[in-house]
Every structure is written in structure tokens, then in C-alpha cells.
Amino acid sequence: MTEITLVEAVRQAMDEELARDENVFIIGEDVGVRGGVFRATQGLFEKYGGKRVVDSPLAELTIVGVGIGAALYGKRPICEIQFADFIYPAFNQIVSEAAKMFYRSNGDWSVPMVIRAPYGGGIGGGLYHSQSVEAFFTQVPGVKVVIPSNPYDAKGLLKSAVRDPNPVMFFEPKKGYRLIKGEVPEGEEYTVPIGPAKVTREGQDLTVFTYGMMHHYALQAAEMVAKEGIDAEIVDLRTLYPVDRQTILRSVQKTSKALIVHEDNLTGGYGAEVAATIAEWGFMDLDAPVRRLAGPDVPGVPFSHPMQEWFMINPEKIADAIRDLAAF
Amino acid sequence: MPLSKEKKKEMFWTMLLSRRLDERAWVLHRQGKIAFHISGIGQEAAQVGAIYAIEKGKDWLVPYYRDLAMMIAMGMSPTEFVMSLMGKAGEPTSGARQMPSHFSLRRARIVSHSAPVATQSPHASGLGFAIKMDGKDEVVLTTIGEGATSQGEWYEAVNFAAIHQLPVVFIVENNQYAISVPQQKQMAVASAADKACGLGLPGIEVDGTQVFEVYEEVLNAVELARKGDGPSVIETNMYRLTPHSSDDDDRSYRTRQEVEEHKKKDPILLTKRLLIEEAIIAEEDYQKMEERAKAEVDQAVEAAREAPYPEGEAAAHPVYAGEVNHD
């Protein structure tokens, strides 16, 4: 095992998949000579050349639309959207085309592609370099939505995404790119399956359901409250769509209390689906109302530091929410 | 390579069969036997001329919803088309999931398209990109209406193909109307082909009622694409002789006089006249072709009528590749 950063895990996954399958290629803005603005494709242009690590025009629709066409031919494109905030010009291609292609052709045409995008705030990025966009895609049958929280999962899930015969939205917590480090097997092939959530901390008193950067903070919050005698279970949802309802309900059965944490806006956010799952099938297991801790319902994460801090969820805010729920 | 007499006759036959099939769809709609039809009447010459310039089974087609004559030229049977009109199980464009004329035919390398216009154009560039990546000499033909060239997706697709010199031929079927909106409210340039100049490509215009002229222009572009000389934009000009769809009433936005004037340039009439002038067919040959077209359309309607509807539950699948297709 060797310790690497989350962004290095992403880079390694792409490196290995480019080496494994000549149909895999990367297309995105500045992914070539520059190696990506977050360095996620660093060294890949030099290793695989400009035909497989392709600098696109500055147009997200082009990146995804061309990716779809190449996938229809049998290629395995990895499309990089530089920031999740910039994905909307490609929304039509993702929702109307990639997601519906297999269904609308009755299985004749499939779109095996990955759309990678760094998401999330807390990095001084203001309204347009901080967004969480997952909820727009977690109600679109035909795509899968994956958000890793650590290097091991990031690498294993991205490799699975590249091999998946369907379009996979792969959102990476950019705040954690260099902050979150973890061990991955060295020189050993592994993948992490798309679908299952994972209990990352066993606990008895309540469950925190979360993903991405907030999972990292939730683990920290759990350690804070542990000193006060509160034993929190943490579930890293990892794959948001399709939903792993079994793992969610099993944990609620065990702890009887549920807190959902995400940095995306509260209303209509992914937490609503988790809460509905619990209300519909886990109601009799509950000892307290389901709680959500999420980004406030304002249009974006502001630039100025104090306002950004007001917006963002942090370990202290999660610890407070855990204490509240534990005391119920 | 000049077209043989047989080839010319075959092209005319394809146009004629498509026309009679298209007309029957209007009749079926008025009889209440189908729910919807969107027509390609008036565009058969442009469509058949273009298809004869590519290699079937090798080259790719990314069409739009008026391309019935292209589909027939590529080998979709009239029965298959009428099945799609009726939403019958197993029709090959979508398994009766899409509205009629939202084409796809995997066996002929015809890619599925949707209803929002210009969404298919980037797919053509992506296919071209993959072809170039693999060093193949295949070509992609893609079509669109002139109204849809207002969409950014079309510009982006042509731009990408031009940057990478991809083997894609972008055809704009300019039938002068986007539902009710005429070309002058769609663009400030004189023709959609002019837009190509800003993207680094010559734009070519051709009379879309002249099947053999279209063939020549498209063949030239296909040959350039095949030998690696990059994409082309070709505008085929004609007139939409019918309302936009079975739900449209074109009397609200254009005069009968205007439509009647354009019927004099109906590509079926023009091509028939040409073939008779060139002594490729005689009037009695034409009559036989008409009889045969009617018989084939009758037979297609009958076969489609007898075909079963899908079960409602078939709508649950297939959402994801890798799962079982229950159809």
C-alpha cells in the first residue's frame, strides 16, 4: 500500500485505463499539455499523445456531444468538465442524448462514457467555481452518478466507470483533491463496484448519510462527538444513482436515527431522496425525525471568506447536528 | 463516376416509393389510424441523391426527422416505417418508444436521434473523430434543417470537425420554413452554407430538387472526407410542400398560391421528366412503377396493421446497457 492524494488517485485510474484499453481517450479543456487545471491528467499527454489526451475547444457541449458520438462508435471517452459549474451547456447532451440513447433505441445504441467534473465549495471559488450539481442528475434514469470521498474509492470507482457500458457522471470533491490522502494498493489491479454504499464507521447511536467532501468532515465530526460518548455510524453513499436503499435502511434499522449531510442546497437536494427512502421503508425503525444538514438555499457559494464560511458545512456544524439528533 | 441508367432509375424509384409512403401516412392520419406524421415530401431528391453518394454498410448516417427517403434508400422497409407510425412492437427505430420518424437503424449504421434539433450534429463529429482515431476510411453523413442551424450545437459540431479535419459531411436541408418561421427570420446570411465560411470551410449550395446534382456535390464532399481532406457543409435547397407535421396548419402562415407555385418544382415531377427526356424510362414504365409503389405501400400498411402492439410493461426496459432486454 502507498499513500496518495485523491487527485493522484484520479490520475492513476485514467493512466491505467488508457494503458489497458486503446479505445479509452480523454477530452476536455486544458487536459493536454497543461495536464488539467487541477493536474488530474498530468503526464498523460506526454505518455499517450494528443490523439488520446485531447484538448477540446472551450465548449462543454462539444466535449460531451463529441464524446457521445465517439462512444456510439465504440470508443470509451472520459470527458472532463473543468468545473462542475460549467456543465450546463452540456446538460442537453447529457440528459436528452446520453441518458436516453439506450432506451430510445431499444438497446441498439449505448453510450459508454464518463463525465468527470470537480465539484464543491470552500476553495474561494465564488458562485461559479464552487457548485454541487449532483441533484440535477440523480433523477435521470439512464445515467449513473458517482461521488468518491477518498483516494481508494476514487481510483476503483473511476476504473469501474470507464468500463461501464453506460454514461457515468463522476463528481470529484475538489477541496479534497490534495487535502484527502489515503492508501491504495501499489502495483495491484482493483476496482470498486458502482452501486453499493459503504459503512465507513460503525456506530450505535445514529447514522450520518453523506458523500464526497462532507464524508471526510463527517468522519472528523464523529471523532469529536465520540469523546462526549456519542457513537455515530457513517455511511458513505458513493453511488448516488442508482440508490443503494438496502444499505441505507439496514443502518437505520441498527441506529434508529438518521442525519443526512451534503453541501448542495437543502431543498430538492439528494438528502430529500434519502429522507424519503427512510420515511417510506424505514419509518417503524425511527426514534427521531430524519434530519438534514445541507447548504443553505441561496443561489451560490459567495466569494468573500466570511460569507463562504457561512455557506459551507464543516466538521463543527456536523458535530452540532449530531449532538442535537443524539439528544432527541 | 457517371451514374448508370439503371442507377438513375433505381434512385427515382426510391424517391417515388418514399413519396407514396409519405402520402399514405397523411391518409392514415386523416383516417384516424395513426396519431402523428412528420413529412419529408418535397425533399426526396436531396435525400436520395445524398445517400447514393455514400457506401451503405460502411459509412454512417446521422439523420433528422424528415429523412424518410434517406431511410428507404438505406434499406428500411416500408413495413418497418408503417410499424413505427403505428407504434407496433419491434419496429426497428426505437421499439415503438419514440414518435414516428425519429430514426435509427443499427444494421445500416444509422444512429438514433431525438426531437430537440441539432442535438445529433455533435454525434456526427464524434463518430468522425473516432473514425479518424482508428485510421478508417469511413465517412459520416449528417443532416439538419436550416432552422436548426441557428442552434449552437450545430456550430460547435462543425467547428470541431473543421479543427480536426474529420470525415463528416454536414448537409443542411433548407426547405425554407422551420414550422412557421421563414429563413429570413432565422439568419441574416443569404444561405445556411454561408455560415460555413466563418468556421473555416467552404459552404456549398445545390438545388435540392435535382437528385443527380445533389449526388454529384455530395459525392465530391464524401470523396474529400474519405481521403482525409476534411468536412464539408452542403446546403440543399428545396421547399417543404406539406405542413410541418400532422398537427400543423400551414394556411396560417403562407399562402396557397406560394405552395402551388413550388409544386411546379416537385422533385418527383422533375426527375420523372428528366428520365423520360433521357429515354431512361417511358411513360408506361412510370405507370408500372406507380402501380408497384402502390402495391408495396398497401402491403406495408396491411403487414403493420397485423403486427402486435408492445406490452405496456415493455416500457420498463432497457434503461441500462448490461441489463436484459425484455422485448
Q: Do B321 and A166 touch (CB under 8 A)?
A: yes
- Give the Å distances, CA to CA, from B217 to A18, B46, B327: 40, 11, 42
Distance from CA of B295 to the nearest CA of A (A): 30
Range of the domain at B227: 5-268+283-304
Choose, out of B59, B60, B112, the residue to mutate when testing the contact with A (most A CBs < 10 Å). Answer: B112
**CA–CA–CA angle B131, B104, B51 (5° rounding):** 65
CB atoms within 10 A of CB A139: 12
Could you tell me which chain A residue has the CA closest to the CA of B106? A108
Distance from CA of B239 to the nearest CA of A (A): 29
Position B120 in a domain: yes
Q: Strands, E, within chain B: which ranges?
A: 60-62, 140-145, 168-174, 177-178, 181-182, 203-207, 232-237
Please report the pLDDT score of residue B287 as a whole number: 98
Q: Do A65 and B98 touch (CB under 8 A)?
A: no
Q: Which residues of A are catalytic?
A: 129
Instruction: Give A23-74 pLDDT, tens digit per residue.
Output: 999 999 999 999 999 999 999 999 999 999 999 999 999 999 999 999 999 9
Between chain A and chain B, the number of residue pairs with CB atoms below 8 A apart is 135
Distance from CA of A138 to the nearest CA of B (A): 14
Please report the pLDDT score of residue B204 as a whole number: 97
ipTM score of complex: 0.97
Cell readout for A113 is 462514457
Q: Taking every pair of C-alpha atoms in chain A, what is the biggest distance, in angstroms?
A: 59
Which chain A residues are within 8 Å of B129, Cβ to Cβ? Answer: 66, 69-70
CB atoms within 10 A of CB A188: 7
Q: Of B106, B129, B322, which has the smallest distance from its Cβ to A69's Cβ?
A: B129
Q: Which of B97, B253, B254, B292 is catalytic?
A: B253
B97 is a catalytic site residue: no
Which chain B residues are within 8 Å of A97, Cβ to Cβ? Answer: 114, 119, 123
B244 is a catalytic site residue: yes
SS (H, E, C) chain A: CEEEEHHHHHHHHHHHHHHHCCCEEEEECCCCCCCCCCCCCCCHHHHHCCCCEEECCCCHHHHHHHHHHHHHHCCEEEEECCCHHHCHHHHHHHHHHHCCHHHHCCCCCCCCCEEEEEECCCCCCHHHCCCCCHHHHCCCCCCEEECCCCHHHHHHHHHHHHHCCCCEEEEEECCHHHHCEEEECCCCCCCCCCCCCEEEECCCCEEEEECCHHHHHHHHHHHHHHCCCCCEEEEECCEEECCCHHHHHHHHHHHCCEEEEEEEECCCCHHHHHHHHHHHHCHHHCCCCCEEEEECCCCCCCCCHHHHHHHCCCHHHHHHHHHHHHHC
Position B260 in a domain: yes
Q: How far apart are CA B263 and CA B257, in angstroms?
A: 10
DSSP, collapsed to helix, strand or coil, labels residue B144 as strand
Could you tell me which chain B residue has the CA closest to the CA of A101? B112
Please report the pLDDT score of residue B326 as a whole number: 34
Which chain A residues are within 8 Å of B126, Cβ to Cβ? Answer: 65-73, 77
CATH number for B74: 3.40.50.970
Q: Do B130 and A74 touch (CB under 8 A)?
A: yes
Q: Do A62 and B157 touch (CB under 8 A)?
A: yes
Position B210 in a domain: yes
Q: How far apart are CA B187 and CA B180, in angstroms?
A: 14
DSSP bridge pairs for A294: A262
Q: What are phi and psi of B132, to 5 degrees?
A: -65, -40
Could you tell me which chain A residue has the CA closest to the CA of B108? A108
Position B216 in a domain: yes
Per-residue pLDDT tens digits of chain B, which is 327 residues long: 689 999 999 999 999 999 999 999 999 999 999 999 999 999 999 999 999 999 999 999 999 999 999 999 999 999 999 999 999 999 999 999 999 999 999 999 999 999 999 999 999 999 999 999 999 999 999 999 999 999 999 999 999 999 999 999 999 999 999 999 999 999 999 999 999 999 999 899 999 999 999 999 999 999 999 999 999 999 999 999 999 999 999 999 999 999 999 999 999 999 999 999 999 999 999 999 999 999 999 999 999 999 999 999 999 999 999 864 333
Q: How far apart are CA A304 and CA B135, in angstroms?
A: 51
Residue the block writes with cell 453513499: A237
Which chain A residues are within 8 Å of B64, Cβ to Cβ? Answer: none
Q: Of A69, A77, A105, which has the smallest distance from its Cβ to B123's Cβ?
A: A69
Q: Are strands B203-207 and B181-182 parallel, antiparallel or unpaired?
A: unpaired
Residue the block writes with cell 405507370: B287
Cell readout for B9 is 432509375
Please report the pLDDT score of residue A24 as a whole number: 98
DSSP, collapsed to helix, strand or coil, labels residue B293 as helix
Amino acid in the structure at residue B303: A
Question: What is the separation, in whole angstroms, between the first and last Cα of chain A?
Answer: 42
Position B274 in a domain: no
Which chain A residues are within 8 Å of B161, Cβ to Cβ? Answer: none
- Give the Å distances, CA to CA, from B132 to A188, B168, B263: 34, 10, 42
Q: Do B163 and A57 touch (CB under 8 A)?
A: yes
Which chain B residues are within 8 Å of A96, Cβ to Cβ? Answer: 114, 116, 119
CB atoms within 10 A of CB B253: 14
Q: Do B122 and A72 touch (CB under 8 A)?
A: no
Cis peptide before A242 (omega within 30 of 0): yes
Which chain B residues are within 8 Å of A66, Cβ to Cβ? Answer: 122, 125-126, 129, 157, 160
Per-residue pLDDT tens digits of chain A, which is 328 residues long: 899 999 999 999 999 999 999 999 999 999 999 999 999 999 999 999 999 999 999 999 999 999 999 999 999 999 999 999 999 999 999 999 999 999 999 999 999 999 999 999 999 999 999 999 999 999 999 999 999 999 999 999 999 999 999 999 999 999 999 999 999 998 899 999 999 999 999 999 999 999 999 999 999 999 999 999 999 999 999 999 999 999 999 999 999 999 999 999 999 999 999 999 999 999 999 999 999 999 999 999 999 999 999 999 999 999 999 999 999 9
Please report the pLDDT score of residue A115 as a whole number: 98
Could you tell me which chain B residue has the CA closest to the CA of A73? B127
Q: Do A66 and B97 touch (CB under 8 A)?
A: no
Q: How far apart are CA A7 and CA A37, in angstroms?
A: 11
Q: How far apart are CA A139 and CA A118, in angstroms?
A: 20
Position B326 in a domain: no
Position B32 in a domain: yes
Cell readout for B38 is 412528420
User: Among residues A14, A29, A6, which one has the least CA distance to residue A158?
Assistant: A14
SS (H, E, C) B204-271: EEEECCCHHHHHHHHHHHHHHHHCCCCCEEEEEECCCCCCCECCCCHHHCCCHHHHHHHHCCCHHHHH
Which chain B residues are within 8 Å of A57, Cβ to Cβ? Answer: 156, 159-160, 163
What domains can be seen in chain A, in order of their start residue? 2-184 (3.40.50.970), 198-327 (3.40.50.920)
Distance from CA of B48 to the nearest CA of A (A): 24
Q: Of A62, A73, A165, which has the smallest distance from its Cβ to B160's Cβ?
A: A62
Q: Is B249 left (phi over 0), alpha (psi -120 to 50) or beta?
A: beta
Could you tell me which chain A residue has the CA closest to the CA of B323? A107
Domain count, chain B: 1
Chain B residues with CB within 8 Å of chain A CB: 62, 92-95, 97-98, 102, 104, 106, 111-112, 114, 116, 119, 121-131, 133, 152-153, 156-157, 159-160, 163, 318-322, 325, 327
Could you tell me which chain A residue has the CA closest to the CA of B132? A51
Position B277 in a domain: no
Q: Decide: B103 and B93 in contact? Cβ < 8 Å.
A: yes
Q: Taking every pair of C-alpha atoms in chain B, what is the biggest distance, in angstroms?
A: 57
Please report the pLDDT score of residue B324 as a whole number: 40
Q: How far apart are CA A226 and CA A326, in angstroms?
A: 12
Could you tell me which chain A residue has the CA closest to the CA of B327? A106
Q: Do A166 and B156 touch (CB under 8 A)?
A: no
Please report the pLDDT score of residue B2 as a whole number: 86
CB atoms within 10 A of CB A173: 26
User: Among residues B131, B181, B205, B189, which one has the least CA distance to residue B155?
Assistant: B189
Residue the block writes with cell 426531437: B115
